[in-house]
Amino acid sequence: MSPAGRGKDGPAMEVFLVEVEQALARLIRKGFRPEGYDLSLAYDGLMGQSMPRQYRHALVMLAVMDRRC
């Protein structure tokens, strides 16, 4: 389901994703696009720290690694 007033009916909602696994990040982006979301991707923490300051995103998603695994 697309967000109200987004996607086909309006501009895409901007989402920022930080994920070190590039293939997984691209797969997530591919799944979000048809739903009316435009994902910006960062593949490491350093890149992830600077991008949100440069752009305004409606949502920021971080992949969190548990070092106990």
Per-residue pLDDT tens digits for 4-25: 445 556 677 889 999 988 999 9
Please report whether residue 26 resides in a domain: yes
Please report whether residue 67 resides in a domain: no
Residue 17's domain is classified under what CATH number? 3.40.50.2300
Does the pLDDT of residue 68 top 80, yes or no?
no
Please report whether residue 36 resides in a domain: yes
Please report whether residue 27 resides in a domain: yes
Distance CA 41, CA 61 (A): 10
Give the domain range for residue 19: 12-62
- Mean pLDDT, range 27-40, rounded to an integer: 91
Please report whether residue 55 resides in a domain: yes
Please report whether residue 5 resides in a domain: no
